[in-house]
Amino acid sequence: MNIIPQLSLFGEEENEELGDLERLKMALGSIPDEQLIRRLYKIRGKGRNDWPVEAMWNSFIASFIFEHETVESLLRELKRNSQLRKMCGFTPKSVRQPDGTYKIYVAPSESSYSKFLANLKKCQDELNQIFQELVDYMYTFG
């Protein structure tokens, strides 16, 4: 009887030496999220548009790759890590203060992120579709 070694479905050896930013880039390029992004823009409607939906979604995915357990931890990382901000799609915003000075924001506030997460919860059908497409892909090509 021949013993056939079990092949890894996810090819851990292939990605073992990649850094977190490279893993994030691979993940963002692999997720079929167009319908989700359109729905999130529709939910936002004419509300505030301080941060692009794509950047918020990309940072949400990054939270799993970078293993952030809380939104606060992710936001601290975004404020600290310019490469992560750039990869997610955040660009600094300057806001004029009442005293005439300008304040630079490089990442969303906790309240902005909470609103995004509340909107994301309304997109369960689109999230299910993304998951199903990824599962189907793995069955076909994995």
Domain ranges across the chain: 18-141
Q: What is the pTM of this model?
A: 0.85
Residue 115: pLDDT above 90?
A: yes
Task: Report the amino acid identity of residue 66.
Answer: F
Own/partner pairs for 78-87, CB < 8 Å, 24+ apart? 78/106, 78/107, 78/108, 79/106, 79/107, 82/106, 83/21, 84/21, 84/24, 84/59, 87/21, 87/24, 87/25, 87/28, 87/58, 87/62
- Does 118 score more than 90 pLDDT? yes
Confidence of residue 142 (pLDDT cuts 50, 70, 90): low
Model confidence at 46, pLDDT cuts 50, 70, 90, reads confident
The pLDDT value given to residue 9: 46
Q: What's the whole-number average pLDDT of the chain? A: 89
